Amino acid sequence: MGLAGIYQVSKEGVMQCCVITTAANGLMESVHNRMPVILSAEGMVQWLAANEREAIDALMVPAAESTLERYRVSRYVNNARNEGPECIEPDSSSED
């Protein structure tokens, strides 16, 4: 899965990047009103080769709902020190 983004190198030589967002699709709108711009393989080529604003704007759309799967995970993921597969395991205590 590719995400649209931009980057720059600061005066100090530090790489800085930003993921571009768009309006949420129907699957994600109950979680948040924005979501990353998800690019198909063809969209990634277009994103990197685009020289005109219209070409970039055409890619700035919500992903099809079938692109993603949504499920609730445990609160274990809420601590930035926690890593590993436990962060993405479905929470068995609820249905969504």
Determine, yes or no, domain membership for 89: no
Q: Reply yes or no on whether the pLDDT at 65 is more than 90.
A: yes
Determine, yes or no, domain membership for 86: no
Determine, yes or no, domain membership for 24: yes
Determine, yes or no, domain membership for 40: yes
Determine, yes or no, domain membership for 42: yes
**Which residue range(s) make up the domain with 28?**
2-68
- pLDDT tens figures, 46-63: 999 998 999 999 999 999
What does pLDDT average to over the chain? 93
Determine, yes or no, domain membership for 59: yes
Provide the domain count of the chain.
Answer: 1
E strands present in the chain: 2-3, 5-9, 15-19, 21-23, 34-36, 38-39
Determine, yes or no, domain membership for 61: yes
Determine, yes or no, domain membership for 90: no
* Largest interatomic CA distance in the chain: 49
| Residues above pLDDT 90, as percent of the chain | 91
